[in-house]
Amino acid sequence: MKVFFATDIHGSETCWRKFLNSGPHYDADVVILGGDMTGKALVPIVDDGGGKWHGTLQEQRRDLNGEDEVVAFEQDVMRRGYYPFRTTPDELSELEHDEQRLDDLFHQHMLGTVERWMQMADERLSPKGIKAFVCPGNDDQFEVDEILANARGVTLAEGRVVDVEGYQMASTGWSNPTPWHTYREETEDVLYERISSAAAGLTNPPERTILNLHCPPYGSGLDEAPGVNEDLSPKHGGHAPEPVGSKAVRRAIEEFRPVLSLHGHIHEARGHTRIGNTLVINPGSSYEQGQLLGALIELDGKKVKNFVLTSG
């Protein structure tokens, strides 16, 4: 069985479309998307009147003339993983002071995008017979789960064991605590309980078992992120990574000894390692550049036959 795994696309329209095409591209039987599929930011496109608009992307202001340029800018924003929305100067000013309204706007765009993506998955994956599994991550709000659960083109893998072509895969997108206090994070003890609960249904031997845990194992080299100061600025110019992975995840890998363990969360820590006989992979993420980083793994029922990290 050939598995393609990617993760942390953070709302990037380009990466999602590439993910949908990754099965045929890599000749994979199954495609799996790790957590953090939703975007991090809203980008206002402000109506200046008379068919003129303006918006700012990557700190560069763009003045837009007419509908075609606005649409092209919206596509640029979506490609980068942000959500564009059209607004007026007055509404923009109100949004700055109305947290609830901003939250609602985020929900509207985020959930709308996930719904549209699931529709695309149904249209593109189902006819090809490619199985796709998706699991939210710590950055994804809980409302995402319901949309994924109702999708026909993909299978929601969160918190349970799913069958993957004769292999069993247990998944969770929860992580240990981060400095950003995101939606799905908890202490190591609680996280371990969650993973154990998700994996309770595993009945296959280790060589036919896969763990899909968003957070990488602590001290694996796949969890090295730039250390941050209290104000969230990177220490030492971002040159000094430190391990930030989960000890609970590491313990789970050591106890369940799956043939393969898939992770994401730390975009910079692209790589692979072994914990015991388990091949542990974090393909990293370059969603902002529109590059889908991934891993192509071939399993032969006894071991990992071969694998490679991809950049597509």
Partner 1 sequence: MAAADVPAERTLFVRKATGLVKGWSVLDAFIYAAFAINLMALGFGYAFTTIAFIPDGSLVWAVILSALFIIFETLVYASLIAVMPRAGGDYVWQSRVLHGGIGFVFAATGWWFILWHWVPIYANILVVEVIQPFMVIIGNTGNGVFESDWWVYTPTHGAGIFTASLITAGIATVVVALGMRTYARFQKWCFYGGMIGLGIILVIFLIHSKADFIAAYNRSAQNMWGTGPHAYEGLIAASDKAGTSSYVGAGSFPVKETFLLIPFIVFYNLWPNWGATLYGEVKGASDYRKNVYAMAGALVFTTIVVLITFAAMYHVMGSDTYGIMSSAYWGYFTAPLAIFPYPGTIAAMFYTNEAVQLIIILLLSLWFFGWAGSVFLSSTRMIFATAFDRVLPEWAAKVSPRGVPYAALALMLIPAIPISYFYAYNTTFYKATLDATLVIAATFLLTTLSAMLLPWRKPEIYNASPIAKYRPLGIPLITLSGVIFAAFLLFCLYKWFADDIYGVNNSTSLRYMAVLYIAAIVIYVASRVIRSREGIDLDKINAEIPVE
Is residue 128 classed as helix, strand or coil in its secondary structure? Answer: helix
**Which letter does DSSP use for residue 241 in this model?**
E
Per-residue binding string, partner 1, 106-135, x by CB under 8 A, is x-----------------------------
* Residue span binding partner 1 (CB under 8 A) among the ranges 9-17, 145-153, 201-209, 255-263: 9-17
Per-residue binding string, partner 1, 184-203, x by CB under 8 A, is --------------------
**265 part of the interface to partner 1, by CB under 8 A:** yes
**61 part of the interface to partner 1, by CB under 8 A:** yes
Tell me the CA end-to-end span of the chain in Å, nearest whole number.
20
For partner 1, the closer CB: 35 or 162 = 35
CB of 286 to partner 1, least distance (A): 7
**Which letter does DSSP use for residue 212 in this model?**
E
Take residue 248 and report the two structure tokens written for it: 């609970």
Residues numbered 215 to 254 that lie near partner 1 (CB under 8 A) are 219-221, 224-228, 231-243
**177 part of the interface to partner 1, by CB under 8 A:** no
CB of 224 to partner 1, least distance (A): 7
Among 126, 196, 204, 286, binds partner 1 (CB under 8 A): 286
For partner 1, the closer CB: 41 or 190 = 41
For partner 1, the closer CB: 14 or 168 = 14
CB of 90 to partner 1, least distance (A): 12
Dihedral-angle region of residue 7 (phi above 0 means left; psi in -120 to 50 means alpha; beta otherwise): beta
**271 part of the interface to partner 1, by CB under 8 A:** yes
**312 part of the interface to partner 1, by CB under 8 A:** yes
**Residues in Cβ contact with 2 at an 8 Å cutoff, skipping those fewer than 6 apart:** 26, 27, 28, 29, 30, 296, 297, 298, 299
**1 part of the interface to partner 1, by CB under 8 A:** no
CB of 50 to partner 1, least distance (A): 18
Q: What CA–CA distance (Å, rounded) separates 94 from 107?
A: 17
For partner 1, the closer CB: 152 or 274 = 274
Take residue 305 and report the two structure tokens written for it: 């036959």
Residues numbered 65 to 84 that lie near partner 1 (CB under 8 A) are 76, 79-80, 82
**Residues in Cβ contact with 135 at an 8 Å cutoff, skipping those fewer than 6 apart:** 32, 33, 34, 35, 156, 157, 158, 171, 172, 173, 212, 214
CB of 264 to partner 1, least distance (A): 10
Q: What element of type H or E holds 62?
A: strand 60-65
For partner 1, the closer CB: 194 or 272 = 272
Residues numbered 38 to 57 that lie near partner 1 (CB under 8 A) are 40-44, 46, 55-56
CA distances 162 to 152, 158, 172, Å, are 15, 9, 12
For partner 1, the closer CB: 23 or 159 = 23
In terms of C-beta density within 10 A (0-12 exposed, 13-18 middle, 19 or more buried), how is residue 82 classed?
Answer: buried
Among 36, 74, 145, 158, binds partner 1 (CB under 8 A): 36
Is residue 99 classed as helix, strand or coil in its secondary structure? Answer: helix
Q: What CA–CA distance (Å, rounded) separates 15 from 112?
A: 17
